[in-house]
Structure 1
């Protein structure tokens, strides 16, 4: 199976590339700028055609949540128009597309975990652009899986886990928001789930359960308790540690509003594909150990 993923440097793309190493029968090819530029639609069509995928994973995105408030045109060009072109390119080749979306399509006001049929109501430009991207993908390619995920971290790129370890190396106390809840989700697990779903799509030519799915780590927490777990685990492995002080969202103002509730139910994905994410603590432990034991301190800022 030849899996073509958009974006070379993203957490999911990097995780898929790693998963493909030494995996017989699987070839993962990542394509990005300048060959594929989501703001230049024709490059998308051409680059994906040249890559000759069996399945396309649409992972490249504009992810600067606060900056998007000042760059709405760019956010929509990448996350909506660009994502639609990726799905169109896959459709022209007669192959499915697996598109990554986000919890930010919701406003966070629900009392429990969101399911796929809950009403969307993004709070800012980023969420609105990703919701428009879901709609563009669905319109361009009927053979689509749209995977909404949340609180993504990994050994790659910039993310919350690496930020906590970096800050703990320089200070004794870190203030972290305690009134936003969600499911920490490891990109390594997302990659595993994508490969599991892709394999089913390749095996089952009669697969019809295309549509939107939620895909997030098992169990929930808030940002401050997530930070505590990261740093307590780091200390076990001889890495940096700091105290975590709970603060409210109002004490940490940002240009874009964040959902207070980002919890996602992954029951539909588990039922359809027979795959469940590990408990978020287990996955976080593996990533922290890898960062603390297996990489230099300088790598935490990469």
Structure 2
């Protein structure tokens, strides 16, 4: 079974490379954005023609949430048109598509975890373009798994955990918002979850299970709680101050609550999900 991964140099792409060796039954082909530009339909078709993948994990995305507000065309091109292009070529080659989406498709006004049936209502360009990508995929190609995740971090790429560790080496005081609630997700665990969908699909032939799924860790916290735990696990003493979102204005409005309900993915694929604190601790060992 050949699994093509787009966005190989991104955080999730690198995490997939990190875990891929544990699955000798799958042949992974990793393509960076320069090797496979998802905004170029002909380029995707050319790569698919050579590789003939059974599965495609689309890990390519425009993820600069604030920058998207000033670069909407670029965000739309990658997250919406790019997803549409990948879906069209997957359909042509009968390739099962696993596409990664985000909690930012929601407005954050709910007080209980979001499930897959909840109505999206993104508040920023990033969330809007990711939702548009989901819609395009659903219109074009039935054989897809759209996996929404949240607050992704890892030892790879740029992310909140690495930013906090860097800032701790540069400053004595750090202020972090404490009124946005969500769940951190280790990209390596997300990578394992995506591969589990593939291996279970091959075992169970879960064709009638195509659709949208949530994957993040268990539990919930604020960004302040997340930072506090990062410093605690890494034995870093720093003056960490909780602040409201209003004290830290950003170009893009974040959901104030974006915890995801994981019941569906656990039930369908038997995926076991760690608590976010446990996964963060494992990451630091």
Q: How far did residue 43 of structure 1 move?
A: 1.1
Deviations 1:108-139 (A, max 9, x none): 00011101111111001110000000011112
Extract unaligned runs of 5+ from structure 2. Answer: none
Question: Take 2:123 and 2:45, find their aligned partners in 1: how far apart are those partners?
Answer: 31
Q: CA 1:50–1:163 in 2, change beyond 3 Å: closer, same or farther?
A: same
Question: Take 1:120 and 1:183, find their aligned partners in 2: how far apart are those partners?
Answer: 18
Give the match for residue 272 of structure 1: 268
Q: How far did residue 205 of structure 1 move?
A: 3.4
Give the match for residue 17 of structure 1: 17
Which residue among 241, 245, 249 is the counterpart of 1:249? 245
| Matched residue SS, 1:169 | helix
Whether 2:67 is the aligned partner of 1:71: answer no
Q: How far did residue 24 of structure 1 move?
A: 2.0
Question: Take 1:281 and 1:166, find their aligned partners in 2: how far apart are those partners?
Answer: 20
Question: Take 1:201 and 1:23, find their aligned partners in 2: how far apart are those partners?
Answer: 15
Moved more, 205-214 or 167-176: 205-214
Q: How far did residue 32 of structure 1 move?
A: 2.3
Q: CA 1:202–1:34 in 2, change beyond 3 Å: closer, same or farther?
A: same
Give the match for residue 110 of structure 2: 110
| Matched residue SS, 2:190 | helix
Give the match for residue 5 of structure 1: 5
Give the match for residue 281 of structure 1: 277
Q: CA 1:133–1:228 in 2, change beyond 3 Å: closer, same or farther?
A: same
Q: CA 1:241–1:83 in 2, change beyond 3 Å: closer, same or farther?
A: farther
Q: How far did residue 53 of structure 1 move?
A: 1.4
Alignment check: 8 A CA contact 1:234 1:241 kept = no
Give the match for residue 58 of structure 2: 58
Alignment check: 8 A CA contact 1:115 1:214 kept = yes
Alignment check: 8 A CA contact 2:2 2:29 kept = yes
Give the match for residue 204 of structure 1: 204
Alignment check: 8 A CA contact 1:80 1:132 kept = yes
Alignment check: 8 A CA contact 2:6 2:33 kept = no
Instruction: Give TM-score, length-normalised by structure 1.
Output: 0.91
Q: How far did residue 51 of structure 1 move?
A: 2.4
Deviations 1:38-58 (A, max 9, x none): 222221222233222121001
Write out aligned runs for 1:157-168 (5 A). Answer: 157-168=157-168
| Matched residue SS, 2:56 | strand
Give the match for residue 193 of structure 1: 193
| Matched residue SS, 1:121 | coil
Extract structure 1 runs of 4+ deviating beyond 3 A.
Answer: none
Aligned residues: 285
Extract unaligned runs of 5+ from structure 1. Answer: 290-302
Alignment check: 8 A CA contact 1:150 1:216 kept = yes
Give the match for residue 222 of structure 1: 222
Whether 2:270 is the aligned partner of 1:258: answer no
Question: Take 1:50 and 1:103, find their aligned partners in 2: how far apart are those partners?
Answer: 34
Q: How far did residue 22 of structure 1 move?
A: 4.9
Q: What RMSD in Å do the two structures reach over aligned CA positions?
A: 1.3
Question: Take 1:206 and 1:109, find their aligned partners in 2: how far apart are those partners?
Answer: 33
Deviations 1:238-281 (A, max 9, x none): xx442210000010110010000011001111111111211111
Deviations 1:6-44 (A, max 9, x none): 112112111111111253212222112323112222212
